[in-house]
Amino acid sequence: MKIAIPRETHPEETRIPMLPADVEYFVKLGAKVEVEKGLGSSIGISDDQFVQAGATLSGDRQALLSSADMVLRLNKPPLDEIQLLKKGTVHISYLDPFNEKDLIDSFLKAGVSAISMEMIPRTTKAQKMDSLSSQASLAGYVSVILAADRLNKVFPMMMTPAGTIAPTRVFIIGAGVAGLQAIATAKRLGARVEAFDTRPVVEEQVLSLGAKFLKIDLGESGETKDGYAKELTEQQIKIQQDAMAKKCAQSDIVITTAQVFGRKAPRIITKEMVSAMQPGSIIVDMAVSSGGNVEGSKSNEEVDVNGVLIIGYNNLSDRVPLHATQMYSSNLKKLISEYIDKESGELVLDLEDEIIKGCLVTHNGEIFSDRLKQ
C-alpha cells in the first residue's frame, strides 16, 4: 500500500497531516509512504527527518497523488486534484461534507473512498481518533491566550502595597471540549470564570474545573446521541440572550464556542449585548468560520465596536501548529491502524463497523454515509 502525504495548499495552514514518528509506524508495517518535499517546513521538520523515518520524497505533486492508494491531508482537496486519484483510493481529511456538494460529486465521479475526519463518531472506541475534539481542545486554550494578550488587565487577583487588583472576569458560552479547555486555561491564569451551556449535564464538569455554572431555564434542551448540543428554537435563543446580556456586561472577556455540526452557528451575542459591555472588553467568537455566534464578528479579523474588541479567527489550533499536528497525526494513526491488516499492510474497510459507517462519506461511486443521504 502506498500512502501519499502532499503539502497543504491553504495559504494560512501551518499544520501538517503526519509527523515522522507516525510515518515510521506505517513503514514498519510494510506500507510505502511518500511525502511531498518541504512537507514539514512550516513546523521546523526537515525532509531528512521523514527520510530517516523511512519515507521517500517526491517533487512531483501530480505523480505523488496519481500513484497513491491512500492520501492523507488536513484540509479538503482542490477539485482538480481529486481527478488525479485512482479509482478505489482512500482519501482522509476534513471535508465539510454537508456544505461541499461539488467536492462530494467529484469523489463520486472518481470512485474514491472519502473519509471525513469531522464525522468520526463520538464514542468511547473512536475517542482516540476524534480530531475535532483534539483540535477544539487546543483552540479553547488559544482563545484564552489571545484574549489575555489583547486585554488591558492582568488575570489573577493581586494584593500589592499599591492596592488590590481584582481578578479578570471571564464568561464562556458553551462547555464542550473547546469551552472546557478555555475554562481550565482561564482558571490557571487566575481569572474568575463563569460558564453556560444548554446541556445541564455538563454543569458538573464546569464545577469540577473551579468555574461557576450559569443556570438558564430553557425548557427542553440537551445533547444529541453524538454528544453535541441540540439546536435551540428561536424562543429558547431569545431566553438565553436575555439571561446572558447582564453576564456579558459584567465580564471582561466573553468566549463563545457554540456550533451545530453541518449547520450555521447560532447567533448568541447581539449588537445590543456588545454595546452594553465596557470599553476594553474582549469577545472571542470561536464559531466565526461557520457563521459566528457574535453579531459583528468577521472571519479572520479583529473588529473594534465602540471599544469592545471582537476577535474572530477561523483556525485557532493552527496558532500552535506543532502540538496541533502531533494530535491530528495521532488521530490519523489510530484511525488507520484500526483497519490495516498487520500481515499484508493493506487497509481493509469494514463497512459494518460503526466508526466506518460514521465517517466514510463515499465508496464505490456511491454516497455511503446515511447522514449525508438524509
Known catalytic residues?
A: 122, 127, 130, 133, 228
Strand partners, 173: 196, 256
Q: Contact at 8 Å (CB) between 316 and 138?
A: yes
Q: Contact at 8 Å (CB) between 255 and 182?
A: yes
Gap between the Cα atoms of 222 and 218, Å rounded: 10
Gap between the Cα atoms of 248 and 37, Å rounded: 48
Q: For 348, phi and psi rounded to 5 degrees?
A: -120, 105
Q: Which helix (H) or strand (E) holds 22?
A: helix 20-28
Q: Contact at 8 Å (CB) between 143 and 284?
A: yes
Gap between the Cα atoms of 133 and 356, Å rounded: 18
- The candidate with the shortest Cα–Cα distance to 109, out of 99, 117, 101, is 101
Q: In sequence order, which residues have a C-beta less than 8 Å from that of residue 260 and are 6 or more positions away?
A: 228, 229, 231, 266
Cα 72 to Cα 30, 104, 228: the distances in Å are: 17, 17, 26
For 185, the grid coordinates are 486555561
Question: Within 10 Å of residue 73's Cβ, how many Cβ atoms?
Answer: 25
